[in-house]
Chain A
Amino acid sequence: MAMELALHVVVLLTAPLLLLGVIQKTKAWFAGRSGPPLLQPYFDFWKLLHKGAVYSRTTTWLFRAGPIVGVATALCAGLVLPLIGARSPLGFSGDIILFAYLLGLGRFFAMSAALDTGSSFEGMGASREAAFSAFAEPALLLCLAILCVPARSVGFADAFAALRSAPPGFSHPTYLAAALGLFAVLLAENSRIPVDDPNTHLELTMIHEVMVLDHGGPDLAFVLYGSAMKLFVVGALLVHVILPPPLEGGWEGAGVLVGGQLGLAIGVGCVESMMARLRLPRVPQFLVGASVLAGVGLAALLYRGTA
């Protein structure tokens, strides 16, 4: 058990940047390029950590706190979510609620740090981020509710136990609705393509990238690391909704996690390569659609439970 929890922490700390590498490789493969090496995000991270940081005089402690809180909240969210096997290091009986709020807290500090710079571009990015996350949050909460209702509990351990005992395949279409909703949330939360373009170079079209323009050196490294970890954590949740983690963890659990995450990263890369980015007014519609889908799943679940 201790072994498993140690593995959980090690995977959570080291694996996230690899996902970015896999996504970049997939996109490069689609474009017919050889692309940067798979470990490029690690090299970038290392390089940024060795640079100095420059802080504008208008900024306060909020600006410096942003990246650190971002990493800390993503890390805590990863520590309450069972990654390998049925248990997580910090799991308790209400951890699903904490998970949702940790994601919100990280975003709040990212937006505050952006506003703290006093730059109008960063303020624009923060306002966009706030608007879109207001649409993404109902979808996330409804998807989490779909996990909670069959388990009659708001803990990940119970929710995944209920998932594990559910018969596999199509017999629980509501979980599929939850998975699709979560995928939309994953794309929005991590500023991937139909919502935001991580490679854009134009401030006017950026959302997440424009918020971190003023961060440099180690701060930028932490922003990069925090957002990769957020991608990893939300991705792990999605993977486990589709393939619930086995009770005894071990190699099987690690296999489910690694295989699922790699598949997910390749999926995200495919979506990024095949879809155009949505026009800004269309983004809320995409996210409202995800919420409605999750809401229909939840309604079906509740209805089946009562009837």
Chain B
Amino acid sequence: MTGYADFILLVVVVLDLYVVATSRLASCVHASAFQGVALALLSVALWAPSYKGGVDGHLLHLAFLSIGTLLVKALVIPQLVLRAIREANVRREVEPFVSLHLSVLIAAVLVGISFWLSSVLVLPIPAPTTLLVPVAFATVLVGFLVLVSRKKAVTQVVGYLMVENGIFIFGQTLVQRIPFAVELGILLDLLVGVFVMGIAIHHISRAFDHIDTELLSALKD
């Protein structure tokens, strides 16, 4: 039964759109934390139908992946980003380059594109559920949208996390074959990314007293 997995994937898409639609920084971060919870549940939901009982290597992999995702994506990273928000003292607006209405519509178009894209794409390994690939594409594309359309560094971190989440979802197609590679890839990549972002935010807020990246483009040497 892939019903629960499909349900979780739909929740992931809704959270994507929520991140695009909301104007509060903290809600963006909370939404990406919920997305982390959804991803942890997703790997359980995808695996549960094939569970035959007993403890084997696969179960350990799954537990590692799921608990690791929960810890990193739903607890550690949101806490780091929320602390960055607190320290840089920017609670309020997201300040997009394109208006929120327009970006919701663009996100909807991107979701449509990703459904189309995955219907023309042929995977060597069949995906565990048909919604998996389109949702992965949608999350990556919407993540890119957030990355390019927002001014604040914090929202750019959130966009980066969404791209990561999309890659994680796509990785679920491979997790049955090479679980280790997927786990390591996901968790390391993520942590490095967030460290880089965290340092960047810290430096920007130190140097300019706020975390608006627009001023960086005005720099000349």
Q: Does A304 count as interface, using CB distance less than 8 angstroms?
A: yes
A-B contacts, CB under 8 A, total: 73
Of A293, A296, A297, A307, the contact of B119 (CB 8 Å cutoff): A307
Interface residues on A, range: 20 to 34
Asked if residues A176 and B119 are in contact (CB atoms below 8 Å), the reply is: no
Question: Which residues of B1-54 have CB atoms within 8 Å of chain A's CB atoms?
Answer: 1, 3-4, 6-7, 9-10, 13-14, 17, 21
**A289 x B21 contact (CB < 8 A):** yes
Question: Does A177 sit within 8 A of B, measured CB to CB?
Answer: yes
Measured between beta carbons, the chain B residues less than 8 angstroms from A300 are 6, 10, 13, 115, 131, 134
Within 8 A of B (CB), among A276-307: 284-285, 288-289, 292-293, 295-297, 299-300, 302-304, 306-307
Query: A299 to B112, Cβ gap below 8 A?
Result: yes
* Contact, CB under 8 Å: B101 / A172: no
Query: Distance in Å from the Cβ of A179 to the closest Cβ of chain B?
Result: 12
Q: A296-B10, A304-B130, A306-B119 are in contact. Are A173 and B108 (CB under 8 A)?
A: no
Q: Which of B90-111 contact A (CB under 8 A)?
A: 100-101, 104-105, 107-108, 111
Determine the main DSSP class of B at the interface with A.
helix
Which residues of the partner chain A approach B100 to less than 8 Å between Cβ atoms?
285
Q: Are B17 and A176 in contact (CB under 8 A)?
A: no
CB-CB nearest 5 A-B residue pairs = A171-B3, A173-B7, A170-B7, A173-B10, A307-B130
User: Could you write out 10 A-B pairs with CB less than 8 Å apart?
Assistant: A169-B3, A170-B3, A170-B7, A171-B1, A288-B104, A289-B104, A296-B10, A296-B13, A303-B130, A303-B131
Which residues of A are interface residues toward B (Cβ below 8 A)?
167, 169-174, 176-177, 284-285, 288-289, 292-293, 295-297, 299-300, 302-304, 306-307
